[in-house]
């Protein structure tokens, strides 16, 4: 029988919530510490590909996931100015090929489904990790509100600005990729853009997609070069004028969406070169904390989900945490590093290409040796 641990997960984001679900189902006592005071519908849209939806299906969450988002019928790539169709992906064919759907959500709706899988009290809100001290057999965690906790294992699922990573390996901000992403939502509008379309200019793009099956919420996310002149790498409020100044030469159909945009924010795209190790002593990282990547491939959350599954499997399979963390990193490193590099190149779905290596991966069964 595998050893059961007290596990502290820092961060109730994409990877942290799924890791807690996996670990609790395996019988570990898992608590999630989240800095936000409550579950907030922050962010905007998120695309989730078959390598992630396969995990939700295998966990019995397919029905809830389907209700929370949309399965688009088609995905298009078009030229930014003429609207010329570069290629089309019939999404139902993806389902047939990979045995799992492509879906889009509001990030908050997806987070809520993951949160609801956990017993009440699993997530402690308002707990921002300040410090962490490792002893041979356990770890002491201190939070900014004065609370503290003990755990056998700590999982740093605290995102791109990870405090756990800083404590383990020192302060080193992520790298600015040189591009910003404007994110915006349009609710209950008369606009009916085509399902999931990416409009490509040589150095910029605009991606437009619905986040609900009712098609009453449209998400807009972009990529464009821009110096980042602010003191930190936190998202900033932005305006329709900013959008029009950057994408004013895009197709008329895009202009209509830009003009209707609300809740507009501007995000610096952050990344790191692949690094190792991902763990030290009894603490280990997952998701953006260890391999932040640009959003161009729409795989950041996907990588956090896959990490969560593989890490939980390793903790269950290998009784020594140090061995479990090594097996986890060696099972995951090459794949996440390739995603980081390919995403950086920003060519994904510009033309038809082999997507099997991304979408065909099964975190539930991948070899751990
Ligand atoms: P997160 O989901 O960021 O969660 C980290 C959590 O830790 C947060 O809840 C945070 O509040 C908490 N936290 C942070 N510090 C502390 C602390 N000290 N103490 C306690 N809690 C803390 N990915 C996709 O797969 N598909 C997409 O379509 C997509 N689009 C994107 C578009 C843009 C513009 C951007 C910027 C990203 C996009 N991503 C996309 C990437 C995706 O959002 C991230 O890769 C993903 O959320 C990473 O998951 P995570 O669990 O590692 O971290």
pLDDT tens figures, 212-250: 999 999 999 999 999 999 989 999 999 999 999 999 999
> Which pLDDT tens digit goes with each residue over 116-141?
999 999 999 999 999 999 999 999 99
For residue 296, the 8-state DSSP code is G
Q: Whole-structure pTM over 0.90, yes or no?
A: yes
Q: Rounded to 5 degrees, what angle do the CA atoms 92, 94, 100 make?
A: 95
Of 108, 295, 302, 311, which is best to mutate to test ligand 1, by the most ligand atoms within 8 angstroms of its C-beta?
Answer: 295
Nearest to 277 by CA among 330, 342, 335, 339: 330
C-alpha gyration radius of the chain = 20
Class of domain 6-72+102-173+272-359: alpha beta
Buried/exposed 56-76: b ≥16 CB within 10 Å, e otherwise: bbebebbebbbebbbbbeebb
Taking the C-alpha atoms of residue 192 and residue 216, their distance in angstroms, rounded to an integer, is 9
Least confident of 24-28, 43-47, 125-129: 43-47
Q: State mean pLDDT over 200-207.
A: 96
Instruction: Specify the residue with its C-alpha closest to ligand 1, atom 37.
Output: 295
Q: Give residue limits of the domains in the chain.
A: 6-72+102-173+272-359, 176-270
Buried/exposed 27-40: b ≥16 CB within 10 Å, e otherwise: ebebbbbbbeeebe
Q: State mean pLDDT over 109-113.
A: 96
Of 52, 157, 158, which is best to mutate to test ligand 1, by the most ligand atoms within 8 angstroms of its C-beta?
Answer: 158
> Which pLDDT tens digit goes with each residue over 58-77?
999 999 999 999 999 888 99
ipTM surpassing 0.85, yes or no? yes
- Nearest-atom index, ligand 1, CA of 269: 36
CATH of domain 176-270: 3.30.9.30
Assess whether pLDDT exceeds 70 at residue 1.
no
Greatest alpha-carbon pair distance for the chain in Å reads 63
Assess whether pLDDT exceeds 60 at residue 32.
yes
The pLDDT assigned to 3 comes to 85
Number of Cβ within 10 Å of residue 232's Cβ equals 9
The average confidence (pLDDT) of the chain is 95
Taking the C-alpha atoms of residue 151 and residue 29, their distance in angstroms, rounded to an integer, is 9
| Peptide bond preceding 277 in cis form (omega within 30 of 0) | yes
The pLDDT assigned to 231 comes to 84
Q: State mean pLDDT over 291-296.
A: 96
The pLDDT assigned to 182 comes to 97
Report the share of the chain in percent with pLDDT over 70.
100
188 Rama sector, left if φ>0, alpha if ψ -120 to 50, beta otherwise: left
Judge whether 182 counts as a catalytic residue. Answer: no
Please give the distance, rounded to the nearest whole angstrom, from the Cα atom of residue 166 to the centre of ligand 1: 17
The pLDDT assigned to 347 comes to 84
- For 114-204, strand residue ranges (E) read 123-125, 129-134, 139-143, 148-151, 153-156, 175-187, 197-200
The pLDDT assigned to 190 comes to 92
What residues flank ligand 1, with Cβ below 6 Å?
A: 10-16, 33-36, 46-47, 127-129, 157-159, 163, 181, 183, 221, 267, 287-289, 295, 298-302, 304
The β-bridge partners of 104 are 47, 70
The pLDDT assigned to 41 comes to 75
The pLDDT assigned to 119 comes to 96
The pLDDT assigned to 89 comes to 83
Q: Is 363 helix (H, G, I), strand (E, B) or coil?
A: coil
Assess whether pLDDT exceeds 90 at residue 162.
yes
Of 46, 106, 130, which is best to mutate to test ligand 1, by the most ligand atoms within 8 angstroms of its C-beta?
Answer: 46
The pLDDT assigned to 325 comes to 98
The pLDDT assigned to 241 comes to 98
> Which pLDDT tens digit goes with each residue over 317-362?
999 999 999 999 999 999 999 999 999 998 887 777 789 999 999 9
Cβ-based burial of 121 (10 A; exposed 0-12, middle 13-18, buried ≥19): exposed
Assess whether pLDDT exceeds 60 at residue 301.
yes
Q: State mean pLDDT over 275-297.
A: 97
Distance of CA 275 to the CA centre of its chain: 19
Q: State mean pLDDT over 295-306.
A: 96
Please give the distance, rounded to the nearest whole angstrom, from the Cα atom of residue 252 to the centre of ligand 1: 32
């Amino acid at each position: 029988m595998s050893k059961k641990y007290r596990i502290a997960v820092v961060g109730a984001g994409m990877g942290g919530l799924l890791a807690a679900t996996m670990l609790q189902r395996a019988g570990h006592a898992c608590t999630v510490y989240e800095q936000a005071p409550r579950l907030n519908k922050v962010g905007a849209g998120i695309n989730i590909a078959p390598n992630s939806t396969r995990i939700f299906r295998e966990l019995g969450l397919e029905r809830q996931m389907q209700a929370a988002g949309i399965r688009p019928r088609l995905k298009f790539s078009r030229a930014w100015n003429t609207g010329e169709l570069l290629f089309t992906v019939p999404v139902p064919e993806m389902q047939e090929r990979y045995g799992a759907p492509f879906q889009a959500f509001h990030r908050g709706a997806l987070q809520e489904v993951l949160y609801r899988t956990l017993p009440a009290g699993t997530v402690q809100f308002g707990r921002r990790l300040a410090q962490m001290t490792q002893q041979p057999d356990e770890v002491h965690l201190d939070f900014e509100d004065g609370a503290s906790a003990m755990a056998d294992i700590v999982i740093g699922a605290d995102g791109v600005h990870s405090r756990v990573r800083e404590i383990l390996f020192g302060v080193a901000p992520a790298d600015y990729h040189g591009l910003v992403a404007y994110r915006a939502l349009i609710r209950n509008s008369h606009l009916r853009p085509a399902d999931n379309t990416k409009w490509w200019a040589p150095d910029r793009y605009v991606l437009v997609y619905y986040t609900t099956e009712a098609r009453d919420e449209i998400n807009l996310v972009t990529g464009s070069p821009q110096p980042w002149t602010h003191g930190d790498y936190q998202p900033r409020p932005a305006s329709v004028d900013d959008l029009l100044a950057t994408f004013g030469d895009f197709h008329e159909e895009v202009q209509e969406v830009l003009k209707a945009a609300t809740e507009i924010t501007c995000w610096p795209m952050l990344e790191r070169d692949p690094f190792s190790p991902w763990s030290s002593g009894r603490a280990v990282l997952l998701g953006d904390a260890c391999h932040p990547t640009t959003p161009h491939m729409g795989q950041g959350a996907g990588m956090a989900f896959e990490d969560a599954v593989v890490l939980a499997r390793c903790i269950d399979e290998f009784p020594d945490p140090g061995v479990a963390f090594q097996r986890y990193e060696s099972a995951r490193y090459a794949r996440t590093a390739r995603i980081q590099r390919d995403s950086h190149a920003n060519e994904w779905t510009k033309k038809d290409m082999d997507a099997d290596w991304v979408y065909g991966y099964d975190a539930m069964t991948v070899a751990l040796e």
